Structure 1
Amino acid sequence: MNILFDIGHPAHVHLFKNFISFLKERKHNVYVVSRKKDVTEVLLDYYEIDYFSLSEPRKNKLGMLKELRSRNKQIFKLHQKYKFDVSFGTSVSIGFLNRKYGVPAYNLNEDDDSVVKYYTYLSYPRATKIINPDCIRYQKWKKKRVLYPSYHEFAYLHPNNFHPDLAIVKEYGLEPYKYIIIRMSGLIAHHDSGMQGLGEELLAKIKNLVEQKQGYRIIESHELKKQYQIKPWDLHNVLAFSRMIISDSQTMTIEGAVLGVPSIRINTFIDKSTVIEELEKKYLLAYGFYPTETEPIIATVQKLLNNENLTSIWTEKKKNLLVDKIDMNKWMIDYFVDEIEK
């Protein structure tokens, strides 16, 4: 089969990389189209996944529509050349490909419909199947839904797929559980419009608090400034041995939580993501705060820094999570073999 993946975000490289390896081993032809979003193409290069680079993010809805139109045209041309049999992605374009040429489109997304309205109305009516975690909120397109008990992040961070490497942490001169990761995302996606994250004033207060705690280091990552202290392909290993992550990134909050790392999320998406709500309220692996909640944020960071049993407590919480959640990569493989490849 000729199989298309539309990959527009670094997290989607991780989501599909193991699945792509499986498909190649079964002698399928895999074609990837990408987007110059953050370190997406850096990761594709590192994992030696060939790709066609089609576009880069634009800032407003008009710009995004122009980008979508350009991507669609380029994907249509690629289809005329390679004759795709099926497509995967968290992607609007694969739906248009399905509508125009009848290429089945499997749309994987872990956001609630209400959070990504623009995306859902452009993509879901044209998708063959909409593949979501079973915890998300949705109302429409019920017959197209395929639900599974997991998250995207378990396609690459489930213990079956990921074994944290302490040697990588030591390469950076870091001592396990004696450093904190601070991640500031760009908040420039279409669903980020009007949203706020971790500001410089609050960041300074957090850094001052950590610096007062002897022996702790801060590892910072700033998407818009393109400043990264850790190589993108090493980040999950470094995250796994961190004391905590403080971030306004939805994805990295989930990644930290599923690794059993205390994750403090600071943005205005509070109560808008069922996946993260579940990690915060059911599994108690993460905390969510509005950027204005300075005192509770500082108090939580202080509490986590002072807790001598923190690592063992979060390890137990992670075990509880793993009882309920499956290996997402294995689920994709089984679904492909049973429903698509047959």
Structure 2
Amino acid sequence: MRVIVTIQHPGHVHFFKHAIRELQAQGHELHVFARENEVTVELLERAGIDHEVLAGESNSLFSLAAVQATYEARLLRRARRIDPDVITAIGGVAAAHVSSVVGAKSVVFYDTEHATLIKKLAYPFADVVCTPECYRGDIGSKQLTYPGYHELAYLHPDRFEPDPSVLDDAGLDPDDTIAVMRLSSWDSSHDVGQGGFDDPVDVVDRLEAAGATVLLTSEVDLPAELEPYRYTLAPDRMHDLLAFADCFVGEGATMAAEAAVLGTPAVYVNSLALGYVTELDDEYGLVFSYNDEDRHARSLEQALSIVERDDPSTWQRRRDRLLADRIDVTDVIVREVETAGSETEPDQSTLAPNPG
């Protein structure tokens, strides 16, 4: 097959990287196209994935529309030359549109229920939309669900083993109490009007007072007093750090889920609730989700409780149960891309169409 993979966010690199390698190993022809966004291109380079950058970064919703239009037009030109069998993506606006023009099958993966604009632009044109079972929404007959999360495409223990040298590289000791913190930018189309912490400086101060070493990653400029806490290692080392951290506290759902599947308790502070975050909270107790107006105070109380309690065996037991219930999602990606390319029926042993 000829397969196009489109990458528009750092998380997409992690999600697709193992599937790209497996599909190539099976003899398929892969073409990876990307848009510059945070560390997306750096991650592709560090992963050794051949790619072409089709568009630059955006700094506002208005510029995002222009950048997306440029990306889609350039992707269409490449697709007409390549004549792909399948185009796959997360979200998949450009993938679904371009595939419908060039006669390819589109396989879209998504897990974000509140991204209304993306859903309206992508889902009607997509051939297959793959979502976690916990996704809250009926997409109809084109929806295929699976028992897992995006993060298990790259952090399942069959795919990832954390490297303890990250502690030395970060100047940390194994006995240190480590809190990883994440601040979001709120400039995505589905984040407008939302919020997280009231005062990030207060969070850092309180965690430090409880004995934690705070490492901060941020999509936004930091106030001067928080700059010394910024995480400075290579972006592909973050998962190693999360695996050895004692707690994650932040506004980003993806990092909260990454921490959870690695067995690190996560405190998610965001006015938006998501199906997969809710399941990791309600079913497995690995995420503590705070979405209401008092989210700052309540989330900080929970984070301090985790840091002060220092109970790794509890989180390991909960992670073991999660892994017993959930699958390696890279297997889903490979299977669905190959199924779409061969136009055969999917194997329902791990994928079930939405009954609606």
Alignment-mate amino acid for residue 108 of structure 1: F
Cα separation, partners in 2 of 1:191 and 1:71, compared to 1, 3 Å: same
SS in 2 for 1:119: helix
1:259-305 superposed Cα distances (whole Å, 9 cap, x missing partner): 11110111111xx3110000011111111124643332232122112
Question: Using the alignment, how far apart are the partners of 2:244 and 2:93 within structure 1?
Answer: 36
Alignment-mate amino acid for residue 193 of structure 1: V
Aligned equivalent of 1:158 = 156
SS in 2 for 1:257: helix
Aligned equivalent of 1:261 = 264
Q: Is the 8 A contact 2:4 2:31 kept in 1?
A: yes
Question: Using the alignment, how far apart are the partners of 1:234 and 1:74 within structure 2?
Answer: 32
Question: Using the alignment, how far apart are the partners of 2:297 and 2:108 within structure 1?
Answer: 40
1:61-101 superposed Cα distances (whole Å, 9 cap, x missing partner): 54433333212210111012222221110120111112211
Further displaced range: 163-172 or 70-79: 163-172
1:104-162 superposed Cα distances (whole Å, 9 cap, x missing partner): 110000112xx0111111001100100100111113x4110111100110000001101
Aligned equivalent of 1:196 = 195
Aligned-pair identity (%):
25
Aligned equivalent of 2:126 = 127
Question: Using the alignment, how far apart are the partners of 2:339 and 2:31 within structure 1?
Answer: 21
Further displaced range: 46-55 or 275-284: 46-55
Question: Using the alignment, how far apart are the partners of 2:127 and 2:85 within structure 1?
Answer: 13
Aligned equivalent of 1:233 = 236
SS in 1 for 2:190: helix
Question: Using the alignment, how far apart are the partners of 1:335 and 1:326 within structure 2?
Answer: 14
Cα separation, partners in 2 of 1:169 and 1:103, compared to 1, 3 Å: same
Q: Is the 8 A contact 1:246 1:264 kept in 2?
A: yes
Cα separation, partners in 2 of 1:7 and 1:246, compared to 1, 3 Å: same
Q: CA deviation at 1:332?
A: 2.2
Q: CA deviation at 1:334?
A: 3.3
Q: Is the 8 A contact 1:220 1:229 kept in 2?
A: no
Question: Using the alignment, how far apart are the partners of 1:250 and 1:224 within structure 2?
Answer: 16
Q: CA deviation at 1:47?
A: 0.7
Question: Using the alignment, how far apart are the partners of 2:62 and 2:170 within structure 1?
Answer: 42
Cα separation, partners in 2 of 1:274 and 1:85, compared to 1, 3 Å: same
Question: Using the alignment, how far apart are the partners of 2:78 and 2:300 within structure 1?
Answer: 51
Q: Is the 8 A contact 2:197 2:296 kept in 1?
A: no
Cα separation, partners in 2 of 1:337 and 1:54, compared to 1, 3 Å: closer
Matched, 1:217 2:213: yes
- Name the Cα RMSD after superposition: 1.8
Q: Is the 8 A contact 1:98 1:105 kept in 2?
A: yes
1:220-248 superposed Cα distances (whole Å, 9 cap, x missing partner): 11122396423101000011000101110
Counterpart mapping for 1:69-218 below 5 A:
69-90=69-90, 91-112=92-113, 115-139=114-138, 141-176=139-174, 178-199=177-198, 201=199, 203-214=200-211, 216-218=212-214
Alignment-mate amino acid for residue 268 of structure 1: S
Further displaced range: 288-297 or 146-155: 288-297
Q: CA deviation at 1:59?
A: 5.2
Q: Is the 8 A contact 1:129 1:145 kept in 2?
A: yes
Structure 2: gaps (5+ residues):
223-229, 345-356
Aligned equivalent of 1:332 = 333
Aligned equivalent of 2:26 = 26
SS in 1 for 2:131: strand
SS in 2 for 1:190: coil
Question: Using the alignment, how far apart are the partners of 2:153 and 2:317 within structure 1?
Answer: 21
Question: Using the alignment, how far apart are the partners of 2:72 and 2:183 within structure 1?
Answer: 31
Q: Is the 8 A contact 1:35 1:55 kept in 2?
A: yes
1:290-339 superposed Cα distances (whole Å, 9 cap, x missing partner): 4643332232122112213x211000111111121101112222334455
Alignment-mate amino acid for residue 5 of structure 2: F
Q: CA deviation at 1:197?
A: 2.2
Aligned equivalent of 2:51 = 51
Alignment-mate amino acid for residue 171 of structure 1: D
Cα separation, partners in 2 of 1:296 and 1:208, compared to 1, 3 Å: same
Cα separation, partners in 2 of 1:294 and 1:101, compared to 1, 3 Å: closer
Cα separation, partners in 2 of 1:295 and 1:138, compared to 1, 3 Å: closer
Question: Using the alignment, how far apart are the partners of 2:233 and 2:68 within structure 1?
Answer: 32
Further displaced range: 168-177 or 46-55: 168-177
Q: CA deviation at 1:185?
A: 1.9
Q: CA deviation at 1:13?
A: 0.2
Report the TM-score, using the length of structure 2 for normalisation.
Answer: 0.88
